Amino acid sequence: MSAVKRGYVRGLDLKEGRVDMSHGSGGRAMAQLIDELFAQAFANDYLGQGDDGAVLPGAPGRLVMSTDCHVVSPLFFPGGDIGCLSVHGTINDVAMMGATPLYLTAGFILEEGFPLADLKRIIDSMARASREAGVPVVAGDTKVVEQGHGDGVFITTTGLGLLPEGVNLSGSRARAGDRILVSGSIGDHGMAIMAQRESLGFSSIIVSDTQALHGLVAALLSSGAEVHALRDPTRGGLATTLNEIAQQSGVGMMLEEAAIPVNTEVAAACELLGLDPLYVANEGKLVAIIAANDAERALSVLAAHPQGARAAIVGTVHEDAHHFVQMITSFGGRRIVDWLTGEQLPRIC
Amino acid sequence: MKYVEEFRDGELARGLAAAVARAVEPGRSYSFMEFCGGHTHAISRYGVTDLLPAKVRMIHGPGCPVCVLPIGRVDMAIELALAHGVTLCTYGDTLRIPASQGLSLLRAKSRGADVRIVYSCADALALAQQHPNRQVVFFAIGFETTTPPTAVVIRQAQVLGLENFSVLCCHVLTPAAIGHILESPEVREYGTVPLDGFIGPAHVSTVIGSRPYEFFAEEYRKPVVIAGFEPLDVMQAILMLVNQVNEGRAEVENEFSRAVTREGNLKAQNLVAEVFELRREFEWRGLNVVPYSALRIRADYARFDAERRFPLSYRQVADNRACECGAILRGVKRPWECKLFGTGCTPENPMGSCMVSSEGACAAHYTYGRFKELAVAEA
């Protein structure tokens, strides 16, 4: 953004003001919104260049790039909001490739009528998340759609990261014998959101786990353990992520239900709604596929990190032409942990 | 988690499994039908059959509210939403039931129908209060468990004098369906369905009590054990059924005594009787037309009956010819014996209703257990 002060008559009304069509028209109102809200919150040298694109220093080696669209209802939930979520989500996607995240870009679709105060809360939260993670937002864009054509705010973020020499992680690298690890309890984010939806009418103490995991990934990789794949089990939860990896690698998996960490509150809320925590979204957990001999070492590295205190080895990769993910239930039986069909819907009886 | 994990304890399960294995008599096999989808789901999800001796076979019954809903009824709901422009509120499971012309409520929604998932019929009533200018219809399905809440909201709507709320009543009755299965030629004459006893419903029985099943035990000499929906409940009920068969008894026993009494919930029963009356007949998917097997709204509450408020008529629609849902719901066939299972019909693209709800026999088997016959086929 330009350092030259433009001739605004009045500052943005961040208390009572609302997004209107002029904020997306390309005129002065838009420039003001960007300057007073976005540029101030995200302030960094790259964004400050104020050109059509950010000029970034070249980095030797391989780059990892990932993009993620964020639509969440409600926009604010216990433990976070769409702002920090959109930073964590993309940082995690880059981190799961083993890369060090360097830069983010952000695109906003704002709905006409959206309170500027809420927008400020979201942007501030996003800026805080970006600062804490040490990954600046270097470019962005804003559009405004008419009322009824959006759901308050949609945010798309893109992340760019640098992949260290020798790191080769892929969902296609799971091999028979590998162990499956998770970095902590599953289902917290999804149930925190679900519990907030007004129609459920119950209050809970479940807090979203949204957090950036690149520090945890760096610790794991620097331990020297032979890591074959990392993934963050977001939408569709642990079950979906493992099915993706099983499919991609052409292997089967066997999980141990009793070993999978689930918070009691999450388990209880799932029970009440007839949902399965294996399919509930996470925003601050990772799944690691690790060579058998290194699994214990990887576990102790994860467990020693504050973000991995409840890490656990939850299963094993094996050969299976059908690529089934199966599970030994705590009850002592065996079942498939299948792909999710559509959305997870509460049962009737 | 208190009061839940106790009923899923692996060690107790192994103990019960050993007890069942000891109880089964050599040279004898046992076939029990679990009527309820809740039991079907528990059996599949926890892998209960893995713990049972091969001689004990579980047959999945028709007690899945989504599965037994005939296409014509879903068509009515879709017509209400698309042609009459109402806000249609429904329990989540019904959204994906395949209906006529390749439609489902989910597809109708993508064509502009206002279809809302609710967790309780009270949410539908609240919606009607919030939007007095919109006609809100609650698509009421389910067995005796979901019926009393529907009765409550209809009474509330009466008290509130709501002019924009009505109910498309598709509530069905468990005893009628059990009776129908016991009367079916496969069970009575041909013996194609060997049926040595029933696991009786859990939640339904909390409402209707255990007394209605006494008729089946006496008249048809079939033991009934009412069981909770937790896997240990199911194991315990199977042991009780095996013992009854061995001892030549046919009684109603109550494993779910922590929630079910002989008389049931009288308050709920009275409420239902006040608002609803028996339909002379009702079509069930798979069981065809079953006399006196469903409820409709009494004349006193006629203005809350969507079938009277809107010009709607019921049209019988046949299932896909290759679909075996009917035979599966009667226990004549097992899911994998249907040609469409896992090929033309999957949870993503269900052709028959048993593939829709996670309580449906086909969906439960596809989702949790299909590795079993694949392993057999490969061996």
Q: Which residue of B has its CA nearest to A276?
A: B45
Residue A310 — left, alpha, or beta (φ > 0 → left; ψ -120 to 50 → alpha)? alpha
The segment(s) of chain B belonging to CATH 3.40.50.11740 are: 1-321
Q: Which of B4, B8, B44, B46 to mutate to test the interface with A (most CBs of A within 10 A)?
A: B46
A212, A141: one domain: no
Q: Say if A171 falls within a structural domain.
A: no
Contact residues on chain A for B95, CB-CB shorter than 8 A? 345
Whole-number CA gyration radius for chain B: 21
Which of B4, B50, B229 has the highest number of chain A CBs within 10 A, making it the mutation to test binding with A? B50
Are A329 and A185 in a shared domain?
Answer: yes
Question: Does A196 share its domain with A324?
Answer: yes
Residues A154 and A301 in one domain: no
A335 vs B47, B229, B359: nearest CB = B47
* Paired sense of beta strands B136-142 and B165-171, if any: parallel
Q: Which chain A residues are within 8 Å of B1, Cβ to Cβ?
A: 264, 267-268, 271
Binding-site residues on chain A for chain B (CB distance < 8 A)? 199-200, 258, 264, 267-268, 271, 273, 322, 324, 326, 329-336, 338, 341-342, 345-349
Q: Which of A163, A187, A202 is the last residue of a domain?
A: A163
pLDDT, tens digit (0-9, with 9 covering 90-100), for B62-104 = 888 888 999 999 999 999 999 999 999 998 888 888 899 989 9
Does any domain span residue A250? yes
Contacts of A330 in chain B (CB under 8 A): 8, 10
Which pLDDT tens digit goes with each residue over A182-214?
999 999 999 998 888 755 666 678 999 999 999
User: What are the tens digits of pLDDT across the range A243-292?
Assistant: 999 999 999 999 999 999 999 999 988 988 888 999 999 999 999 999 99
B138 touches chain A (CB under 8 A): no
Q: What is the pTM of this model?
A: 0.88
- Structural domain boundaries enclosing A72: 21-163
**Listed residues A105, A130, A163: the one ending a domain:** A163
Q: Are strands A334-336 and A325-328 parallel, antiparallel or unpaired?
A: antiparallel
A14 in a domain, yes or no? no
The CATH number for A290's domain is 3.90.650.10
Reply yes or no on whether the pLDDT at B45 is more than 50: yes
User: Would residue B175 be called left, alpha or beta, if left means φ above 0 and alpha means ψ between -120 and 50 degrees?
Assistant: alpha
Q: What is the number of structural domains in chain A?
A: 2
Residue whose pair of structure tokens reads 């032409």 in the numeric block: A321
- Measured between CA atoms, how close is B189 to chain A, in angstroms? 33
The answer on A197 and A109 residing in a single domain is no
Is the domain of A236 the same as that of A151? no
Residue A333 and residue B50: Cβ atoms within 8 Å?
Answer: yes
> Are the Cβ atoms of A338 and B146 closer than 8 angstroms?
no
- Give me the mean pLDDT over the B213-222 stretch: 94
In one-letter notation, the amino acid at residue A132 is: E
Q: What are phi and psi of A291, to 5 degrees?
A: -55, 140
A135 and A221 both lie in a single domain = no
To the nearest whole angstrom, how far is the Cα of B47 from the nearest Cα of chain A? 4
Check CB contact under 8 Å for A330 and B96: no
Q: What residues contact residue A230 under an 8 Å CB cut-off, 6+ apart?
A: A95, A96, A97, A98, A169, A217, A220, A286, A287, A288, A289
The C-alpha of B367 sits at a distance from chain A's nearest C-alpha, in angstroms, of 6
Give the integer Cα–Cα distance in Å for B159 and B166.
14
Helices (H), B184-265: 185, 203-208, 214-220, 231-247
B376 pLDDT tier (thresholds 50, 70, 90)? low
Residue A5 lies in a domain: no
In a domain? residue A39:
yes
Between B10 and A66, name the one with better pLDDT.
A66
B244-266 per-position pLDDT tens digit: 999 999 999 999 999 999 999 99
CATH 3.10.129.10 fits B1-321, yes or no: no
| A201 and A138 assigned to the same domain | no
Cβ of residue B303 closer than 8 Å to a chain A Cβ: no
For residue A4, is it within any domain? no
> Do A28 and A145 share a structural domain?
yes
Whole-angstrom distance, CA of residue A315 vs CA of residue A256: 6
CATH number for the domain spanning A137: value is 3.30.1330.10
Is A236 within a domain?
yes
Which of the residues in chain A have pLDDT under 70? Answer: 1-9, 198-203, 342-349
Assess if residue A328 is contained within a domain.
yes
Q: Which of B20, B203, B358 to mutate to test the interface with A (most CBs of A within 10 A)?
A: B358
Interface of B with A in 18-47 (CB under 8 A): 36-38, 41, 44-47
Can you tell me which residue has the tokens 């220093």? A57
Residues A135 and A190 in one domain: no
